[in-house]
Amino acid sequence: MNDLKNIDELFSDALYLLKQLINIPSFSKEEDVTADCLEAYFRKTNIKSNRFHNNVWAINKHFDPEKFTLLLNSHHDTVKPNSGYTRDPFEPVEQDGKLFGLGSNDAGGCLVSLITVFCSLYEADLPYNLVMAASAEEEISGRNGIEILLNELPNIDAAIVGEPTLMNMAVAEMGLLVIDAKANGKAGHAARDEGINAINIAIKDIEWLNHFQFPKISEWLDPVHKSVTSINTPNKAHNVVPAECDFVIDIRINEQYSAEEIIDILKKNMSSRIVPRSTRLRSTTIANDHPLVIAGKKCGYSSYGSPTCSDKALMPFPALKIGPGDSARSHTADEFIFTREIKDGINNYYRLLQQLAIEITLIKKQLL
């Protein structure tokens, strides 16, 4: 792989594409027009793209099923703008070295940087295949996003997931488990001290949750974190002891536990009935000796554990989350990305893929 010679031209094209995307509302499940925009971009660059629902993807020209296949992935959906916006969220404005607009930072800068690098390498003879996927519904972990798209893609060996990480390597990511818990008691008249109060059962379980610490420690992530985020009884009468009390538990899981292990521990220690809403958003990690991580280290990128979920949680293969922009700006009013971050993102993604080519070539030589 040669160095990028025309970075200024590539940066200008990427910035123009990002402005187009910002200009189009693309809330989760409503990304059809940004998907149209991305298809048009690939047509303009003479690259055949594919579409499934609102997911758009392409494969490199010289795809070889015998080679290692790397997925480049970022999303083109956004959250809805919050009430604190002082600017038009759909008007891309450059000011003081920043590009303002909804989705500019999360994750438009990553998306256009990855697309730019993919297009630059589309015809290259690489020791691996490239698949570029712009996914939908990431912000809501929707089932018609990357999860369903993986069934349409070639077999994937590893992925780069574009999210704003200040170009640090998120080698691990917290998973999310939401539990609907129900404490069951027995109804009775409050004045006669009858029944079994379901609220008291729920309180006992919540107290256990507050004091219990999951013992397994992660190298990269915080301990398992759990919070009761709502509580409710269907009973509205003041003089009836409630027979049921429902509460919701938000659990953030490190890579030391599976969702099933967490559920089993809760069931063994709590009286309330435990019903998981979903176990899809799993905690993930990529090994320190994976070629992607080794390549990133040689490029000088630092590693960390991410507390936030991404499409990485839905990938059944090693994935590295990395990209331009700052996660702290995501979902904030007057969202922006520094334009230099996009230019640097293109360069840094390209450097990472250059080094990955070296690492894979070395591995092949060692196997001969």
What is the count of structural domains for the chain? Answer: 2
User: Are 37 and 87 in a shared domain?
Assistant: yes
User: Are 110 and 144 in a shared domain?
Assistant: yes
> How confident is the model at residue 191, as a pLDDT?
86
Residue where a domain stops, chosen among 244, 278, 312:
278
User: Are 239 and 360 in a shared domain?
Assistant: no
Decide if 135 is inside a domain: yes
* pLDDT greater than 90 at residue 303: yes
pLDDT band at 190 (very low <50, low <70, confident <90, very high): confident
User: Are 12 and 97 in a shared domain?
Assistant: yes
pLDDT in tens, 241-265: 999 999 999 999 999 999 999 999 9
> How confident is the model at residue 37, as a pLDDT?
98
> What residues make up the domain containing 249?
175-278
Decide if 15 is inside a domain: yes
User: Are 163 and 292 in a shared domain?
Assistant: yes
Residue where a domain stops, chosen among 278, 305, 322:
278
Portion of the chain with pLDDT greater than 70, in percent: 100
In terms of residues, how long is the chain?
Answer: 368
pLDDT in tens, 28-55: 999 999 999 999 999 999 999 999 999 9
Residue where a domain stops, chosen among 278, 295, 319:
278
> How confident is the model at residue 368, as a pLDDT?
61
pLDDT band at 364 (very low <50, low <70, confident <90, very high): confident
User: Are 101 and 237 in a shared domain?
Assistant: no
> How confident is the model at residue 325, as a pLDDT?
97
Any residues with CB less than 8 A from the CB of 36 and at least 6 apart, and which?
none
User: Are 146 and 187 in a shared domain?
Assistant: no
Average pLDDT over residues 346-366: 94
pLDDT in tens, 58-96: 999 999 999 999 999 999 999 999 999 999 999 999 999
Portion of the chain with pLDDT greater than 90, in percent: 93
- Report which of 18, 176, 150, 124 is spatially closest to residue 159, judged by C-alpha positions: 150
- CATH code, 303: 3.40.630.10
Decide if 2 is inside a domain: no
Any residues with CB less than 8 A from the CB of 133 and at least 6 apart, and which?
55, 56, 57, 71, 72, 73, 146, 149, 153
User: Are 339 and 239 in a shared domain?
Assistant: no
> In this structure, are residues 230 and 247 in contact, taking their beta carbons and an 8 Å threshold?
yes
User: Are 166 and 193 in a shared domain?
Assistant: no
Decide if 297 is inside a domain: yes
- CATH code, 188: 3.30.70.360
pTM: 0.92
Three-class SS of residue 346?
helix
User: Are 34 and 61 in a shared domain?
Assistant: yes
Decide if 48 is inside a domain: yes
pLDDT averaged over every residue in the chain: 96
Amino acid sitting at position 133: A
Decide if 236 is inside a domain: yes
Decide if 205 is inside a domain: yes
User: Are 296 and 160 in a shared domain?
Assistant: yes
Decide if 1 is inside a domain: no
* pLDDT greater than 90 at residue 4: no
User: Are 28 and 127 in a shared domain?
Assistant: yes
